Structure 1
Amino acid sequence: MEEKISMCNFDENLIEIKKFEVLSELPNPFLFENGTMLEKKEQWEVRRRELYKLAVEMQYGTQPPAPEFMKIQTLCCNEEMKMDSYRIIAGRDNNSLSFKMVVFKPKGNDKYPAVVDGDLCWRYIYAPQFIDSFTDRGIMLVMFDRTEIAPDLVPGVRSGPLHELYTEYTFGTIGAWAWGFSRCIDALGILGIADMTCIAFSGHSRGGKAALLAGALDNRAAIVNPNASGQGGSGCFRIHMRAIDEKGSELRSEQMSDCAFYGIYHWFGPEMKQYTGSEGNLPFDEHYLKALVAPRILVETESASDIWANIIGTWETAMAAREVYRFLEAEDNLLLYFRKGEHEHTVEDVEKLVSVIRNRMCGEPVAKGAFVLPFKKQRLIYHWKCPRNI
């Protein structure tokens, strides 16, 4: 990537940190289970498999496989609106599920880079400026409704068509939603309508958690963009924080105990519940999940006043994951952007992702402001460093 100039329209005093509680140090992603240190780049895949067991299977449960069969039904092709819709039908044996995929296309008939987003159920899909932010820049926006794969109910239980299809796996709702991202890539390949060398995953909040997990699972995603994904996404389990936001309100970050209060344990795998109130004992944190995306491009977009999403924890795990990116000689492929405002997925967030896609496709400059923080830097909660790559 091109060198970026760190500029932004806020300073480090925008958000006042009132509490910064660290439950334990971030575990070392370079330390093998047997206690030896990773030393060479060629060893990474072995260590990566160990990280997978923790950041994926412990956090989200064992994941469902690719379907045994899949077919696509064309529902509507609207050339005037540049919008096509399809139904994806996939399954195993004689059982299947289906969900809708909508494709918003740029003008023309080229194969365009594509952003896959599972938030067809979310309100910003009804904002034309959100869609146009992609299509006006030559990028296809591919939306699917993750709630057709597993319902988004709070309080809820682990249920839905995908769970009924793969009863022998322990994946939670986020894992089910992540599965949908990969099926959309499958569908784009079958339809032959996208540039398969530049596929990005994106999503907001719980959809951002699913996008990040999907990116860790599927290396066909060249770019992964969780937006405001917080706990179980880009945040940090072992940091609890309080801060005064832009409006002067004092707020706190989400904790594992909130999963019980809001009835969302079903988002995760069955092992996570035991760490409620003792997150400091977790053998992983979200820098492990981010490391599973490396060396591919990870673009985290966050808002300054989204205290619930643990903005310090997001920065801490991004800094820790950068050590892995540095080890893999891809440090510039991890970017963290903050903007003013609250918990939304805005055009300003989209512009950051679009700039990265355009940089990859045609060398345009990447958006400025990566790693410019709206709060004063806190101490890093780890002491290990990237091993010297021999």
Structure 2
Amino acid sequence: MKTNVTTLFLIVLASFSLQAQPGINYDESKVPDYVLPELLVTQKGEMITSVRQWENVRRPELMELFSSQMYGRTPDDAGIKVRYELLTENPAALGGKATSKQVKFIFSNGKKELEALLFLLIPNGSTGKVPVFVGYNFKGNHSTLNDTTILYSKNFALVKEPGHPDWERGCQASRWSYDDIIGRGYAVATMCYHDIFPDRPGLKDYSVVSLFEGYGTGSKAPDEWQAIGAWAWGSSRIVDYLATEPVIDTDKIAIMGHSRQGKAALWAGAQDTRFKVVISNDSGEGGAALSRREYGESIARVSSIQPAWFCRAFNQYRGKEQERPIDQHELIALMAPRAVYVASAVKDQWADPKGEYLGAFYAGPVYQLYGLKGLESDEMPGIHQPIMNDVGYHIREGKHDVTRYDWLRFLDFADQHFGKR
């Protein structure tokens, strides 16, 4: 018990230290005047006035900039093979409401193999194909539900020592409103993000990155992908598997990511149009929030995290947010014409809720090109007053977390865009 108390104390202390770091601005009056990069003006200074111009000219320009200057380039994965093994199937999950499956993903480059575990819940009694939410969990599939049949993944043992509280089943069940998701007729597919890229220094050899050509050669290319790129790639591999499940409607796939996985969800959504609804929850700097506001988490802070989340080229903008050729409203615009939702929390000032809202708001002109509806005002809505346009947003009471309130709004948004109401 003493070890667990000490561990919990250190977690709380680390969290407090994160929020109280010197040099982090939490004063709205100190937000500098800034000018955002023009969303609908090409690098040659030409105005974008049509969907065709956006898709053929401006969108590729922005994808290149985010690849080369921020998230890194996703390499060709033609040499990476994936096979699946169904480990368990339980038709009486959630008290008979769902069928659960546990599927082992085996990634191979012909010389080396790595494993990941997918936990899939499918609602019982559906008469047709069902939509699905895809999202990573932070503490293992076992953390999402108090169920002794859920398997532990290999990589989790690398990041958490024996006896750590994160081994407890259901320790983050509050972040996974399975009853609500299944009750609305959605499947949900989750995987521990450590299975794709362990989020602890010194474990890159256990990440999918280590399977790709050129790994281990000492490359320091400024645009080499790192953890966020790998997590985004892994999300797409989950979609590949879901396409093999006859009951899943692959035209109705939503991705939801929280915090660092909110960043990765946006990058995954930008690259993979199979995600028809993209949801970013409390994603902050490097996610939905505008860097140029210089509020809350900074580029210097987020680009210093190890193992690295962003490519090395991003480091040049430490303390130079105003010099970036891009900002996050342009990332959100890359989802168009697919639906995108951004969520914030009042007490999560580290993630800059206003910056997250404005990131979504300033993506609006691209949605207008498609005849769709973005956020209509640069004034944030009130607490618990969600906006459900083609670009959606809410801010709720509380801290940096995923709550049942969040999930109910995500389900409302998905219902609207998947034609369920």
TM-score by length of 1: 0.80
Superposed displacement of residue 219, structure 1: 0.1
1:231 maps to 285
Asked whether the 8 Å contact 1:208–1:228 carries over to 2, the reply is yes
Q: Pick one of 137, 143, 151 that aligns with 1:119.
A: 137
Using the alignment, how far apart are the partners of 2:267 and 2:420 within structure 1?
Answer: 28
Distance 2:233 2:306 in 1: 19
Q: Percent identity?
A: 29
Q: Does 2:95 match 1:54? A: no
Partner of 2:244 in structure 1?
Answer: 190
Deviations 1:248-305 (A, max 9, x none): xxxxx10122236x63471001100111111110000111111111110001121122
The amino acid that maps onto 2:338 is R
For the pair 1:21 / 2:31, whether they are aligned, the reply is yes
**Cα deviation, residue 124, structure 1:** 5.1
Q: Do the aligned partners of 2:49 and 2:369 also contact (CA within 8 Å) in 1?
A: no
Aligned Cα RMSD in Å?
2.2
Q: Could you say which structure has the greater relative contact order, defined with CA pairs below 8 angstroms and 6 or more residues apart? A: 1
| Consecutive aligned runs of 4 or more in structure 1 exceeding 4 Å deviation | 122-125, 155-159
What is the Cα deviation at residue 184 of structure 1?
A: 0.6
Counting only pairs closer than 5 Å after superposition, residues 166-315 of structure 1 correspond to structure 2 as 166-168=212-214, 170-241=224-295, 253-259=296-302, 263-264=305-306, 266-315=308-357
Moved more, 70-79 or 84-93: 84-93
2-side partners of 1:22 and 1:327: how far apart?
Answer: 30
May I ask how many residue pairs the two structures share in their alignment? 336
1:333-375 Cα deviation digits (max 9, x unpaired): 11111111110001111111111222234442xxxxxxxxxxx
Structure 1 distance, partners of 2:360, 2:238, is 27
Distance, in Å, in 1 between the alignment partners of 2:106 and 2:203 is 24
Amino acid at match of 2:103: Y
| CA distance, structure 2, for counterparts of residue 308 and residue 111 of structure 1 | 40
Whether the 8 Å contact between 1:27 and 1:285 is mirrored in structure 2 is yes
Segments of structure 2 that go 5 or more residues without pairing to the other structure are: 1-25, 94-98, 146-169, 215-222, 374-388
Q: Distance in 1 between matches of 2:246 and 2:237?
A: 14
User: Which residue does 2:101 correspond to in 1?
Assistant: 84
Cα deviations across residues 88-124 of structure 1 (Å, max 9, x unaligned)? Answer: 1234344443211110121225421000001153655
Find 1:334's aligned residue among 391, 404, 417.
391
Please tell me whether the aligned partners of residues 116 and 142 of structure 1 are also in contact (alpha carbons under 8 angstroms).
Answer: yes
Does residue 131 in structure 1 map to residue 178 in structure 2? yes
Q: In structure 2, do the counterparts of structure 1 residues 265 and 286 end up closer, same or farther at CA, with 3 Å as the change threshold?
A: farther
Give the Cα–Cα distance (whole angstroms) in 2 for the partners of residues 75 and 283 of structure 1: 47
2:42 corresponds in structure 1 to 32
Amino acid paired to 2:83:
K
Provide closer, same or farther for how the CA distance between residues 264 and 231 of structure 1 changes in structure 2, counting only shifts above 3 A. farther
1:58 aligns to what SS in structure 2? helix
Unaligned stretches of 5+ residues in structure 1: 1-15, 242-252, 365-390
User: Do the aligned residues in 1 keep the contact of 2:342 with 2:393 (CA within 8 Å)?
Assistant: yes
